[in-house]
Structures are given as C-alpha cells and as structure tokens.
Amino acid sequence: MIHAKHSCILSVTLLILFLPGMNSVAAPDAALLYAQYCAECHSADRLGAVGPALLPQNLQRLSKDSAVSVIQNSRPASQMPPFRDILNREQIESLVELIYTPLEQLPPWGMEQILASRIVHHKPGTLADKPLFEADIDNLFVVVELGDHHATLLNGDTFEPIHRFATRFALHGGPKWSENGRYIFFASRDGWISKFDVFNLTYVAEVRAGINTRNLAVSHDGRYVMVANYLPHTLTLLDAKDLRPIKVIEATDGEGHSSRVSAVYTADARESFVVALKDIPEVWEINYADDPPAGFANWVHDYRKDSGDAAANKQFPILRIPVKGYLDDFFLTQEYDRVIGSSRGETSEQGETGQVVDLDLKRSVAKLTLPGMPHLSSAITWQYQDRTVLATPNIKKPEVTIVDMKSWQVIKRIPTKGPGFFMRSHEQSRYAWVDVFFGPNKDLMHVIDKQTLEIVKTLNPAPGKTSAHVEFTKDGRYALVSVWDEDGALVVYDAETLLEVKRLPMKKPSGKYNAYNKLTRSSGTSH
C-alpha cells in the first residue's frame, strides 16, 4: 500500500513531468496546489475521476476567465466547493494556466484502461421487459439539461415529464435511441458512455471509451456502439448489450500519421459505420455485418484479439476512401450512399468549402460552394418542386443555404438575423425551423416555408435568452424549442399555427430527441 504522503508526492511528480514549458518556480507551486486541492476528484494525471478531465481539449467551451470563476465560486449542480476563501487570485490563475497546458504525452487509454473503467449496474436479462409507466414509447423525448447535468424523459403526447435523472458531466454529440425505444445511449465529452434502460428508468452500464469524445453511433440492429474520440486518436467499438469493449481501432493512415476522429454515424442499409477524420484526408466505412460485402475484402484491417469472444474475433473491415482535405463536419444522405462534408475554416479561392463523397464509387464526386462555415451535421433535406434539396445553417454567416442534391448547386441563400446552429423539420410539416444561435439576435427562431423558401415568421420564445434546437413530435404536429438558459424552458409550439401550446421550466435545456424520428431516420432531423 502507498502511504498517502508518498501518493501525494507521486502525484506532484507526475504532474511536473507532464507539464512542458512551466518554469522551475511556477511549476512546483501550481502542481502542489493541484495535488492538494484538485487531484482527488480530477485525478493526478488530469484525466478526470469523480470530476471531469482538466485538459485543454476537454475545456474548449470554457474560457480561462470562466475557469477562474468556476474555481472561485464553484458551479451549479456540482460537488466542487468554492475556493475563493482558500486560494488567492494568483494561485487560482496558476491553476488555470496548468489545466490549459497540454500534456506532453498522453497516458495510454486502450483495452486495459477501458475495461477497468466499466461499471455494470444491472446485468443483461435482469430487468423487466415492460415499461414502468404508461406512454407511447415511439413519441417519447429525452431532453438534455446542461444546466445541472440531468436529462428528462418526456411524454410527447401530454408534454409531461416521466422521469428526470442525472447524467455524466458535459454530454456531447446527441443521445442515441436503440431497440425500438428501449434504450438510450449517452456520450460525455470526457469519454463516458452510458446505457439507460427507458422501460425501467435506470442505467444499465457505463464505460469510459476515450479521454475526449466527439460522439457515438449505434448499429441499426442494436448490437454495437462505435465511439469517436479526439483523445486518444481512436475509435472504440463496444458491445451494446453490456458496453464491454470489443476493439480499439487506431485512427491512422498506415504511414505513421494519426488523427482525431471528427464523428461517426450509422448507415443502416449498408450495415456500416461511416467515420470522418479530422487530420487525415480519408473517410472510413466500417462494416459490422456478420458476412461483410466482398468489396471490403481488399481493404480489410484486422484488429482482432484472439479470444473466445465471437464479436472480438470479427474483422469489422475498414474501407478507406481518400478525400480532398479533411472533414470535421458531415452529413449522410437519406439513402446513405453519399457523404456531404466540410472542413471548418478552410476555403478555396472560389469559396468552395464542401465536397460530396460517394461511398459506392469510393471517391469525391462534387464540390460545394458553402462559405460561412456550414453546420452540415445539423443539415436537413426535403422535396422542393421536382427535386430533393439540402438546407444547412451557417455558423459564421447569417444565412441558410439551400442546395440542389442532383446538381449540387446552391439554389438559394436565405438571409437570417444571425448565424445559426440547429435546423429541423418533419416530413408532415410545411415548415423548417432554424435558430439564430450566435450574435445579438440569439433569442430569435426563424420559420421557413419549405416550398417558397422564404421566412414566414420569426418567433421570440424568451426575449434576451438564447433559443435553440427544435425537435418535432413523431407526427410533426408540435415543435419543441429550447430556451438555452440556466433559468430556461422547453417551449411547445403548434407546428401549423406557430402558436405556443405549453412551457416547461428546465435547467439550460439543450437538445431534445424524439424516439420515433431518430429511429426512423427522419429527413427533418440529425442522425
């Protein structure tokens, strides 16, 4: 057993070793403060424990000034005490500089570490197969409340909460429904994957699949979960039944270059996961069928680990498709045969920021002129006149871009009151909704007629507070809007009259996800 005093010294030593660029005076002070006040909850290596990981990659959405405030005053729904009466401003600022300093070398996070992190709350087969409540499972919503790290299971017929439960810190990438609404899978920015049993209102299992995670995807048959990681540069494949890790796939190009993984989505009909890489010009298609198509044979990368586990010994072949540039935001067509992607911050002289990748032809087949940093992972499609169009908001430009998906030409740019982040519609609705997430008009929500391509109404659910992320009920009759504020709300609108129907107070509600729309891959929502 390591004595507590020796353990503290070891923690400090590890921190100093991992902190490049710190001078001989500042480093020991910051490291000692961290070891004394932070390491117990955030771990000596800053990878997180009870508290979240304290790495610059995991703190991207928190400014240094905000971090100072959190250390001084704590934050809502947190066990962390305020340190304003314990540490002075200079000490707190030294801690902030420490946690925003990248580790020179990341500790390993492979099969051994993932297995060790796994928590089984209920073994498969031990919970009831009937819901503990009365409701249409297809029309359930799960609402993520970032304000106090909770989620609410909402009845989409009555708009009454069924159950509210705690989540891991900083969920990211959108929860995924599985098995006809029986389960929900969550991913946190710190890499925690949680499986929630909707019928029994309890978590089944949890595992830490990475250090910094972008999102997860669930196979259409409910057998596998694939997790996309920024840190380390990996994809983690899990058995959806109990979150046991099957494989860790390194995101490399075979020539020694590794990459962060931008995102992963499921292509149902292809029985594949589609993956975009942020630092390598490739799109991957990873097949999870028991008998993969012959076309994958020459592209196979075997990550098998010899064991008695049949899933662990499957090949899960990878088809590597070269692309022009890097994709960190992408959209899959409804037929799941093409990827529309963009690289944020990159433009050519012609302003081309997007490309179309054909998964069957295994190459880029078209370019898209999409200046303004399109948010393609929030893009939607619908039938307009005699064609299918794609509509995407833009993160930097105040417009919605409408693209003809046959010619891949922009047919209209709809001016908005500011850059937007989320766009949603429904097959049964004549309207598409888009927020104005960035800028002074963040409290507005535009409603666009899908046939005239004009804004027909601009709503203001809560003046002065950010409006965000619309989601529809399964029949498209109602649209739910988040008031993205600590003292926020979920606002229900009649999707035809555009009048408010109900308002539920919530703690900074973010995304809300309807079981039917997600499971049927509605063209009006993200997948």
Asked if residue 275 belongs to a domain, the reply is yes
CATH of the domain at 386: 2.130.10.10
Q: What is the pLDDT of residues 96-123, one digit of tens each?
A: 888 888 888 777 899 999 999 999 999 9
Do 465 and 437 sit in the same domain of this protein? yes
- At position 324, the amino acid (one-letter code) is K
Do 132 and 204 sit in the same domain of this protein? yes
Write down the pLDDT at residue 477. Answer: 98
Positive/negative CA dihedral, 261, 266, 267, 269: positive
Confidence label for 7 from pLDDT (cuts 50, 70 and 90): very low
Write down the pLDDT at residue 240. Answer: 98
Residue position matching structure tokens 């359930």: 140
Query: Does pLDDT of 310 surpass 60?
Result: no
Helix (H, G, I), strand (E, B) or coil at 306: coil
**Tokens linked to 126:** 């031990």
CATH of the domain at 63: 1.10.760.10
Write down the pLDDT at residue 346. Answer: 53
Asked if residue 339 belongs to a domain, the reply is no
Q: What is the pLDDT of residues 128-172, one digit of tens each?
A: 999 999 999 999 999 999 999 999 999 999 999 999 999 999 899
The arithmetic mean of pLDDT across residues 247-267, rounded, is 92
Asked if residue 334 belongs to a domain, the reply is no
Write down the pLDDT at residue 369. Answer: 84
Asked if residue 332 belongs to a domain, the reply is no
**Tokens linked to 9:** 């010294």
User: 178 Cβ partners below 8 Å, 6+ apart?
Assistant: 184, 185, 218, 222, 240
Write down the pLDDT at residue 311. Answer: 58
Confidence label for 91 from pLDDT (cuts 50, 70 and 90): confident
Q: Phi/psi at 422 (nearest 5 deg)?
A: -125, 140
Confidence label for 2 from pLDDT (cuts 50, 70 and 90): very low
Query: Does pLDDT of 255 surpass 70?
Result: yes
Rounded Cα distance between 370 and 354, Å, is 6
Query: Does pLDDT of 469 surpass 70?
Result: yes
Rounded Cα distance between 164 and 174, Å, is 17
What is the bridge-based pairing of β-strands 161-166 and 363-368? unpaired
Rounded Cα distance between 51 and 312, Å, is 31
Write down the pLDDT at residue 440. Answer: 96
CATH of the domain at 299: 2.140.10.20
Helix (H, G, I), strand (E, B) or coil at 383: strand
Percentage of the chain beyond pLDDT 90 is 66
Asked if residue 360 belongs to a domain, the reply is no
Percentage of the chain beyond pLDDT 70 is 88
Write down the pLDDT at residue 511. Answer: 93
- Which segments of 278-346 are extended strands (E)? 282-287, 318-322, 329-332, 338-342
Asked if residue 340 belongs to a domain, the reply is no
Query: Does pLDDT of 313 surpass 60?
Result: no
- The half-sphere exposure of 390 on its side-chain side, counting CA atoms within 13 A, is 31
Asked if residue 90 belongs to a domain, the reply is yes
Rounded Cα distance between 357 and 378, Å, is 18
Q: What is the pLDDT of residues 403-419, one digit of tens each?
A: 999 999 999 999 999 99
Q: What is the pLDDT of residues 475-504, one digit of tens each?
A: 999 999 999 999 999 999 999 999 999 999
User: Is there a contact between 298 and 306 (Cβ–Cβ < 8 Å)?
Assistant: no
Confidence label for 40 from pLDDT (cuts 50, 70 and 90): confident
User: Is there a contact between 187 and 193 (Cβ–Cβ < 8 Å)?
Assistant: yes
Do 519 and 472 sit in the same domain of this protein? yes
Alpha helices in 38-139 (DSSP H): 39-42, 64-73, 89-99, 111-117
| Average pLDDT of the chain to the nearest whole number | 87
Rounded Cα distance between 408 and 364, Å, is 13
Do 185 and 293 sit in the same domain of this protein? yes
The arithmetic mean of pLDDT across residues 283-299, rounded, is 79
State how many domains the chain has.
3
**pTM to 2 decimal places:** 0.86
Rounded Cα distance between 271 and 458, Å, is 40
pLDDT greater at residue 396 or residue 452 = 452
Do 130 and 30 sit in the same domain of this protein? no
* Domain of residue 313, residue span: 110-280+282-322
pLDDT greater at residue 49 or residue 354 = 354
